[in-house]
Structure 1
Amino acid sequence: MNVIIQNILAFSTLILALGFLVRKFIWTPKKASSKSCGSDACGCS
């Protein structure tokens, strides 16, 4: 019984880790529009 629970926990952890890595590195996130720090467009970013 303990081996079954251990396998379920191990596989669920593996799936969560793979999902995190796919979301972090493979999925292309939407980029926010870049805004300047002030209203006078001094070039600071």
Structure 2
Amino acid sequence: MNDLIQNILAFTTLGIALLFLVRKFIWNPKSATSKKACGDTDCGCH
């Protein structure tokens, strides 16, 4: 019984971690250039 619970928890944790990585890096990645430049608007970062 303990092996079953341990496997369920391990695969659930693995699934959550993979989902996080997919959402962070593949599904909607943030572009690196938007952090470095203000763009066309004056954001007051100078």
TM-score category (smaller protein): 0.5 to 0.7
Cα deviation digits, residues 7-28 of structure 1 (max 9, x gap): 0000000000000000000012
Structure 2 runs not aligned, ≥5 long: 32-38
Moved over 4 A (4+): none
- Which has more helix, going by share of residues? 2
2:42 aligned residue: 36
After TM superposition, give the deviation of residue 29 of structure 1 in Å.
Answer: 5.0
Over the residues paired in the alignment, what is the CA RMSD in angstroms? 2.5
Structure 1 runs not aligned, ≥5 long: none
Identity among equivalent pairs (%) = 66
2:36 aligned residue: none
Which has the higher Rg, Structure 1 or Structure 2? 1
Q: Normalising to structure 2: TM-score of the pair?
A: 0.64
Q: Normalising to structure 1: TM-score of the pair?
A: 0.65
Q: Which has the higher contact order (CA 8 A, sep 6+)?
A: 1
